[in-house]
Amino acid sequence: MALSSHFLDEDKALACVHCGLCLGSCPTYLETGNENDSPRGRVYLMRSIENGRLSLNGSHSPVSHMDRCLGCRACETACPSGVAYGQLLEATRDHIERHARRPWYQRLLRRWLIEKIFPFPTRFRWAALPAMAVKRMDIASLLPRFLSEAMELLPDKLSRVRLPALAPSHTQPARGRVGLLTGCVMPVLFGKTHQSTIQLIQALGFDVVIPSQQRCCGALHAHSGKLAEARELAQHNLQVFEQADCDVVLANAAGCGSTLKEYDHLLSQDPVVWERASQFVAKVRDFSEWMEQQGASLRERFASAHAQGWSLPEPFNGLTTFHDACHLAHAQGITMPPRQWVQAVAGPHYVELNEADICCGSAGSYNLTEPEMAARLQLRKTSHIRQSKASLVITTNPGCILQIQSGLKKEGLSSVRVMHLADYLEMALRHLPSEIARR
C-alpha cells in the first residue's frame, strides 16, 4: 500500500458526486470511453492516491490516466456541483512529479524542453533555430515521435518583432494604461499578434505598457505539476506589474490569462501576498473580454461598413468559423465576446463550428507529452472544420493555432487559414472604408 502525503483538498474532491454529467464534455472520455479517462474517474483516482489505495509506481499506476487529462476544464463548465477540478488536477500532478518514476525520455521532455526551454523566449528561439532547419530539410520523420511531432507544430518562420516598453495611445489624453503580458511562446512565434493587439488598444485610446522584466506566467509549470516554480513566477510577475502601475493587465493567450486570473489561488499560502494577488487578479482581462468592454465604437464601425455592403478582401471573405480555446471558454467562462467579434467582422459569412469548445489537443505542452491522444483530438477538430466548409478559423490561443494549422496540413486542408482574433480584428480595421475607419 502507498503512503498518503495529504496533497489533496478532501472537501474539494468530495464535491464530486459522480453524477456523470461531465462525461459528454470530456475529450479523452469521448475518445476512449474509459471511466479512468473521465473527470469523475480521475477524481476517484486522485482520492485513491491520497488515501494510499493506489501506488504511483507499479503495474496498476494511475499516472497514465492523469497524464492523459488535457486539463481543458470542460468538466467544470458541465459540473452542477462546482467541482474545482483544475485545482485538484494541479495538486495531484505536483504530487506525481515529486514521487513517480518516469521513463528517461519523459524526464528529458518534461524537465528539459518544457521546463528549461519553453518558458524562456531567448532559449526557445535558439532551440527553435535548428528545429526549423530540420523541418525545412524534411527529415523530422527520422526523429523520435515526440520530437517529430514538435517539428510539425512549428510555423514556417520565427517572429522578429521587437516590442516597445510603452506604446502611446493614438489619441491624447489616453483613456488609461493597459499592461500587456508577452508570455514565452508568443514573442518567438506570434510577435505579429502582439503588434496587432497593441495597435487595437492604441486605436481605442489607451497607452500600452510592456514591462521588460516580466517572465512566463507559470501556466506550463502549474499544468505539468511544478507548483513551486509556478508560484515563484507568479510572485515575480505580480511585483513587475505592480510597479508598472496599470489599470488593466491584458493577456492575448487564453492559457496565460487563465493562470493570471488564478494567481490568488497559487499564492494563497501567504495572506499578505494573497491580498496583493487578489488585487492583481481583479485587473486581469482576456483580450476579447477587454475588447467587449471598451470596443463599442469599433463594433459600430463594422456594423456601418456592413450596412454599406462591405466585406473583407480575398482570401479572408469566405466562410469563417470560431474555435473556443479551452482556457478561455472553460477556465475563464468566456465564450460570447470573441465569437461576437468574429461575427461583427464576418457578418453573413460566419458559420458555427460543431464541438467548438472541445479541445483541439494542444493544451499547452500536451501535444508533446501525449502525442497519440493529441493527434486523435486534432483529427476530430479538423474533421469538424472540413464539415463547416470554412476557409478561415479564428481562435484566441497560440497553441490552438499551431495545433489546428498542423492538423489541417495533414488532412490536405492547407488552404484553410487559422488566425488569432487580434490579427483578424486589426486586419479588418485596416480594410474598413476610410470614411468609416476615421470615426
Same domain membership, residue 269 and residue 255: yes
The predicted structure's pLDDT at residue 5: 64
Residue 405 CA to residue 415 CA, distance in Å, equals 10
* Residue 6 confidence class, pLDDT cut points 50, 70, 90: confident
Q: By three-state DSSP, how is residue 308 classified?
A: coil
86, part of any domain: yes
Give the CATH number, domain containing residue 57: 1.10.1060.10
- Cβ-contact 250, 179 below 8 angstroms: yes
Centroid of chain to Cα 330: 11
Q: Which of 171-180, 361-370, 401-410 shows the lowest mean pLDDT across its residues?
A: 361-370
Element at 20 (helix H, strand E): none
Do 197 and 279 lie in one domain? The reply is yes
Does residue 141 carry a pLDDT above 70? Answer: no
Tell whether 67 and 185 lie within a shared domain. no
159 within some domain = no
Q: Based on the number of CB atoms within 10 Å of its own CB, is 194 exposed (0-12), middle (13-18) or buried (19 or more)?
A: buried
Note whether 280 and 172 are same-domain residues.
yes
Q: Are residues 109 and 40 in the same domain?
A: no
Q: Categorize the per-residue pLDDT at 439 as very low, low, confident or very high, splitting at 50, 70 and 90.
A: low
Of 1-10, 25-34, 209-218, 296-305, least confident by mean pLDDT is 1-10
Residue 160 domain flag? no
pTM flag (> 0.85): yes
- Whether 158 is covered by a domain: the verdict is no
Statement to judge: residues 324 and 433 lie in one domain: yes
- Percent of the chain past pLDDT 90, that is, above it, reads 81
pLDDT band at 153 (very low <50, low <70, confident <90, very high): confident
pLDDT average, residue stretch 116-139: 85
Q: What pLDDT is recorded for position 67?
A: 94
Indicate whether 177 and 228 sit together in one domain: yes
Question: Span 162-179, mean pLDDT?
Answer: 95
Report the pLDDT value the prediction gives residue 145, as an integer from 0 to 100: 67
Q: What is the mean pLDDT of the chain?
A: 92
Residue 242 lies in a domain: yes
Indicate if the pLDDT at residue 426 is higher than 50: yes
**Domain containing 146: what range?**
104-153
Domain of 195, CATH number, reads: 1.20.1050
Are residues 327 and 285 both part of a single domain? Answer: no
d(CA 58, CA 100): 10
> What is the number of structural domains in the chain?
4
The answer to whether 189 and 155 are in contact (CB under 8 A) is yes
3-state helix, strand, coil in the chain (%, to 5): 55, 5, 35
Q: Output the domain CATH number for residue 429.
A: 3.40.50
Residue 371 domain-assigned?
yes
The yes-or-no verdict on residue 208 having pLDDT over 90 is yes
Question: 404 near 323, Cβ under 8 Å?
Answer: yes
**Is there a domain that residue 335 lies in?**
yes
Cell of 18: 459522480
Would residue 274 count as lying in a domain? yes
Q: Of the candidates 289, 314, 349, which is a domain's last residue?
A: 289
Are 71 and 192 part of one and the same domain? no
Residues 272 and 317 in one domain: no
Higher per-residue confidence, 112 vs 317:
317
Confidence of residue 3 (pLDDT cuts 50, 70, 90): very low
Give the count of beta carbons closer than 10 Å to the beta carbon of residue 109: 20
Q: Do 121 and 81 share a structural domain?
A: no
Same domain as 213, residue 174: yes
Model pLDDT, residue 59: 77
